[in-house]
Amino acid sequence: MRVRVTQLLIGAFLLLLIFHPEFHFKKKVSPYGVLLIDRSRSMEGSKIKEVNSAFPLKTMEFGGGKPGTAIGEALLQAKESFEDASFILLYSDGTNTRGENPIEVAKRIGIPICCIYPEINAKVFGFLSVFAPESIDEGDSVVFTVHYRSPQSATIRMLCEGISEKKRIKGEGIEEFTLGLNPGKHNIEFTLEVKEDTIRRVNRSLYVRRKHKALVLAESLDWNYKFFKRYLEDLNWNVKGFWKTDGSLPSLSQYDIVYFSGIPKKIEARIREYVKKGGKVIIIDPFPESLDYLPIVAPHLITISGELPPSRYLKSGGVRSKAKSLNLMGENVGYLMQYGKGYVVQFTYLDLWKLALSGEGIYNRDLFGEVMEEFLTTLISSELNISYPDRLLEGEDLYIYCEPKEPDSFIWDGKNLPVLGDTIMIPTPEANLHHFQVVFPSSTLKGSVEVVRGLEDRVGIDTGMLYAIGEVSNGGKWKENFDKSRFGFKEREIWVNLRHNWFFLGILFGILFFDWYLWMKGK
């Protein structure tokens, strides 16, 4: 029997698979670098020139797909994708807004990182900072206060949903832009332009709160009706009043709060459903016990101007167990109770207009206003906002304005700082990206401000960040004639498993097919 050469090769390949499927050897890898290019929004308009390197460069980009800039994550990804790279050339403005700290990443990445700074025309620079509240009420105008610095003639342009306004400036100063917008969330863009170049861009968001709507309803044009309606109108609410109603009312669901006095029984069911689904109601009326959404059972309430003896209104059941009382000058003037998803306020002091007059005349206090403010705080959650610049030059003081009241605490870069009044001042914060929280009893508002330094920083380059990345990684600022002796050949360990190597298996199957062809031809 004649043995073919292909059969000997097949046997040899099979023995290799059985006894030694894995081989290990080392391969020298020539030095090369990774050119890591920042394509985030802050780098718009910046073009990198040709980079002359003594070693080949692999190009990788980051920051173009997601909002914000994550330099630390990009460095880690570059190292993972090109594990044999000898160095990284980072082309970025150094503005890091999310992810890991790039300086900490540079410490542990293990290879030098050389930073290429975007080119800057020293004659063309500028600074722009915008102060404005984060929210306003419907119908109000917002004033954006823009602080600028520009040694050359420039233009500040404001753009908001098709509205465009521009002002010519030079030197340092303040300009104001006024806008009146519809309810909802709005984005406003401010740019500092020199000729056709955009030197600085600042984006601010503004939330326009819808005005609260109230329905004031009474069977007669009494003084309570007048006082309550006027009080809400003074709060800048949209108020609709009805009296002598025959039951033909608009939909209650369109109102944030509804006031009732002397309501006909035909609409009691509507009130119950309105509250159950999340409505807020203020009631001044001796309703019957059958209305289970009332905080107190008060079948015999009568209109008087003084304190009601307990025997007059605390019948069987008395005050509901979950009702909250409001005490004013030693008297319980009302109760508040949650029912379903909504709230009901029922007054025990029935002549609110007398409460208002006696407070002003005897005590020199707005007793009616104090009562209503207490209840409205619970019924209508107050919206808070803070006003601050998003960018600040090193050496300037930072002011954070809180509206409408003083916060409980203030956290700056993870540390609690004392709060004195509704304006918080941080004296000359250091150049960095700072995060803070303004804490109120019912909410916490978060923000951040970037403090930058130097002439270059005025066009968006965080030289401090880039310098630190280069220093901790033994890299520095990129120079074409940098020390090439640092980068020698690297040895890469290569493990080849024959059972999982498709090249080896492909050769084996090819020989098998060729041997089958020879066998068929001889047959």
How far apart are the two ends of the chain, measured CA to CA in Å? 14
Q: How far apart are CA 252 and CA 233, in angstroms?
A: 18
pLDDT at 303: 40
| Closest of 240, 264, 266 to residue 252, by C-alpha | 240
% residues pLDDT > 70 (the chain)? 75
In which band, very low, low, confident or very high, does the pLDDT at 311 lie, cut at 50, 70 and 90?
A: very low
Structurally, at CATH architecture level, domain 392-450 sits in Sandwich (2.60)
Structurally, at CATH architecture level, domain 119-211 sits in Sandwich (2.60)
Of 54-68, 245-259, 266-280, 444-458, least confident by mean pLDDT is 444-458
Taking only the tens place, the pLDDT of each residue in 422-437 is 788 888 888 777 888 8
pTM over 0.75: no
Q: Do residues 131 and 193 lie in contact, with contact meaning Cβ atoms separated by under 8 Å?
A: no
Calculated CA dihedral for residues 328, 332, 335, 336, nearest 10 degrees:
30
Q: How far apart are CA 450 and CA 127, in angstroms?
A: 13
pLDDT higher than 50, residue 456: no
Q: At what angle do helices 367-379 and 223-234 cross, to 10 degrees?
A: 60
Two domains, one topology: 31-118+461-488 and 392-450:
no
Q: What is the domain partition of the chain in residue ranges?
A: 5-27+491-522, 31-118+461-488, 119-211, 213-379, 392-450
The fold of the 31-118+461-488 domain, in CATH, is Rossmann fold (3.40.50)
What phi and psi, each to the nearest 5 degrees, are found at residue 305? -105, -5
pLDDT at 68: 63
CATH superfamily to which 213-379 belongs? Class I glutamine amidotransferase (GATase) domain (3.40.50.880)
pLDDT at 89: 92
In sign, the C-alpha dihedral spanning 507, 513, 518, 519 is positive
Taking only the tens place, the pLDDT of each residue in 353-402 is 777 777 676 777 777 777 777 777 777 765 556 777 767 777 778 888 77
pLDDT at 90: 92
Burial (CB count <10 Å: 0-12, 13-18, 19+), residue 334: buried
| CA 433 to chain CA mean position, Å | 15
Burial (CB count <10 Å: 0-12, 13-18, 19+), residue 152: middle
pLDDT higher than 50, residue 11: yes
Taking only the tens place, the pLDDT of each residue in 263-296 is 667 777 888 888 888 888 888 765 555 577 777 7
